[in-house]
Amino acid sequence: MFASLAFLAAAQQIVVPLGKPPPQVYHPPAVIQTNGPLFAAACKDWDDWDKPAPPVRIHANTYLVGTCGISSILITGSDGDILIDGGTEKGADLIASNIRKLGFRVTDVKILLHSHEHIDHVGGISKLQRMSGAQLYASAPAAKVFATGAAGTGDPQAGMQKPFESARVDRIIKDGDEVRLGDLMLTAVATPGHTPGALSWHWVSCYSGICRTIVYADSLTPVSRDDYRFSDHPEYLAAYRASIAKIAALDCEILLTPHPSASDMVNRLALAKVENPNACKDYAAGLTKQLDERLAKEAAGQPTGETKEP
């Protein structure tokens, strides 16, 4: 009988392992060394809101999953994922496709966040909320916009864009609030200026002992309809300048922006190098220059209306 069992084991090539099996090596998807140049090639000379772009792993668990013209940031964690910005309604499908290309599930997105409450950045939030079942966290001014889909009267661009599909807001976010999900923690920075409800975000992403502080800084550009003058709204203007100062003061090793072109993402990804400890300070300096130039035009009575971001 024992001989028969031995013969059967040999015939089935039963192998008894000795010791522990070798650990599986994790290979992150869409590494910047490969997908950074792919993004740059796909988006060279293009800033279209809905032009498809490949996903890129920026660092550790932080991924760029938007389009050539509009950023969307996926941060993956132990208890689910966080997604910042949902692009346009059409862009929402492209974002969902990029999440799947990375090997993640859209239903693993548990929290949706936003930068500023315009159709090109949040027009797809409602669709993504339905796809994922995620909760939407928003600033109080942005929550009013999500309820109607239309920019409020305090928005310098009110009336310039068509309404978008409304979305359910589950939590109101204030300046300095922390958003936690498992091993993830993001901190909100209220940065009104481009819109009243704009939020910027900062967090730390780590991989193989290397940690980077990442900032997703709002657009903060002085774009408006033709009849709007920032100088006619001194309190809003003061808050605007304070927002720029907040960005300049942040610990910031990697800068991301709602419009990739605003932070020269094509060139940075072409070189597969996104770290720059002075990025937020440089970004803030450029925004201050734009705002000062805008105010000078207002003082001189020159046309100031803009139609294109950033």
Which residues carry out catalysis?
116, 118, 120-121, 194, 228, 259
* Letter string b/e over residues 14-30, b meaning 16 or more CB atoms within 10 A of that residue's CB: eeeeeeeeeeeeeeeeb
**Residue 124 near residue 112, CB atoms below 8 Å:** no
Query: What is the rounded distance in angstroms from the CA atom of residue 47 to the CA atom of residue 25?
Result: 37
**Residue 258 near residue 298, CB atoms below 8 Å:** no
